[in-house]
Structure 1
Amino acid sequence: MPLYKSISVNSQTTVKIWKIEESYDALLSPLELRPESLTRVLGMKSELHQRGFLSVRHLLSEFGYTDQDLFYDENGKPHLKDGKHISITHSFTFSGVIVSDNEVGIDIEKQREKISIIAHKFVDYEFEYLNKNSDAYIRKLTVIWGVKESLYKLFATPGMLFKEHFLVIPFMLKDENTVAWIDYEGKKYRYNTAFLEFEGFTCAYVIP
């Protein structure tokens, strides 16, 4: 089973990443899924999405949980029955889960040139320090998207906008961390963020 990476962020927080190499059947057969989870996975049109969904359940077992321990609220945010906080992501051939005593968010993205086409939709302040002619431009955009997606998952509040409410301060790729802010409805929230790159993908996660 390809547990790709395990990161102890701090004493309360752990990230685990899975490289999805197994077939759909190999992923499904060892799992005991709740009826609603089975219905959900069978209803997915893409086998890539199915394998992503199932690999997340294998990551849960790496933390000592099962599909029965996971539930979702009305905003689609995942929760664990024991009260710990969880965030989930999958992209193509990788999936990731972060579990913590505190609110958290995680995102994995494939590094793709086309992110530059939609940059204006999620980048505002960050354009001040981004260099569009730099070799690192796509990689930095992917980090910014991943951090903002992680913040959105953490807050799970309808109406929040990446461009207007989330801000990522300048960072160096080699540092693998930065600080992000949420500015929403007159309140400001500060988050520590970290990111790592592997095999053409970027994983970002945020903790208060």
Structure 2
Amino acid sequence: MPLYKTLYPNSQTTVKIWKIEESYDDLIQPITLKPESLSRVLSMKSELHQRGFLSVRHLLAEFGYTDIDLFYDENGKPHLMDGKHISITHSFTFSGVVVSDREVGIDIEKQRDKIGVIAHKFMDYESQYLQADAPDYIRKLTVIWCIKESLYKLFATPGLSFLQHTLVIPFAISDTETRAWIDYQDKKHSFETTFTEFEGFTCAFALPTF
């Protein structure tokens, strides 16, 4: 049972999440891959990564696309041939794709205690409102990471730093949304961000604020 969840943040945007339960063989049989995509998946050393890659192609099919409709630019950002915006993510047993008329970024991460060890590497401003002894500390850290990763994917600009150039406005887990900013080269960019949790994972996606 592959398609796990579908979200509609607005009339222009759809998010689809896949729970990866199928084997590699079951995932690869029904789809057609471009030669470069097939070469890429065959070169992956981890079957988990292979299954994540293939599940994304199944999500594309849920949107009515194929692997041929997807291409990547010089910064590694994915694009669709029809001009719609797309962002892709996978983590362990979940993958996600968002398609929108607007620039968009998405990330899924497993909630793990070890994120606390690297917190100082990706947040500065946020440490002013987070409490390390709070029961939801790891969950909030994971939300912040997912939001910043979504911003990074959306902005797709070499040199952008999570620590120096991004910030996430204070939020409660129950809010399911917050505002985030990129402050880069003397320009400030505002984003609407939405987050959700399921089965020990966090998913967040970002869209530019009108």
- What range describes the TM-score normalised by the shorter chain of this pair? over 0.9
Question: Partner residue of 2:3?
Answer: 3
**C-alpha displacement of 1:2:** 1.3
Report 1:10-21 matches (<5 A). Answer: 10-21=10-21
Report 1:1-208 matches (<5 A). Answer: 1-208=1-208
- Matched position secondary structure for 1:18: strand
- 1:93 partner letter: T
- 1:112 partner letter: R
Partner deviation per Cα, 1:35-88 (whole Å, 9 max, x = no partner): 000000000000000000000000000000000000000000000000000000
Mapped to 1, the partners of 2:37 and 2:89 lie a distance apart of: 16
- Matched position secondary structure for 1:14: strand
Mapped to 2, the partners of 1:158 and 1:143 lie a distance apart of: 23
- Matched position secondary structure for 2:133: coil
Runs (4 or more) in structure 1 with deviation over 6 Å come to none
Mapped to 1, the partners of 2:107 and 2:41 lie a distance apart of: 20
After TM superposition, the score normalised by the length of structure 1 is 0.99
- 1:39 partner letter: S
- 1:84 partner letter: K
Mapped to 1, the partners of 2:206 and 2:94 lie a distance apart of: 18
Mapped to 1, the partners of 2:78 and 2:181 lie a distance apart of: 22
Runs (5+) with no aligned partner, structure 2? none
- Matched position secondary structure for 2:90: strand
Runs (5+) with no aligned partner, structure 1? none
Mapped to 1, the partners of 2:194 and 2:129 lie a distance apart of: 18
Mapped to 2, the partners of 1:72 and 1:51 lie a distance apart of: 20
- Matched position secondary structure for 1:206: strand
After TM superposition, the score normalised by the length of structure 2 is 0.99
- 1:204 partner letter: A
- Matched position secondary structure for 1:102: coil
Partner deviation per Cα, 1:114-145 (whole Å, 9 max, x = no partner): 00000000010000100100110000000000
RMSD over aligned Cα atoms: 0.4
- 1:29 partner letter: Q
Mapped to 1, the partners of 2:107 and 2:115 lie a distance apart of: 15
- Matched position secondary structure for 1:6: strand
Percent identity between the two aligned chains = 75
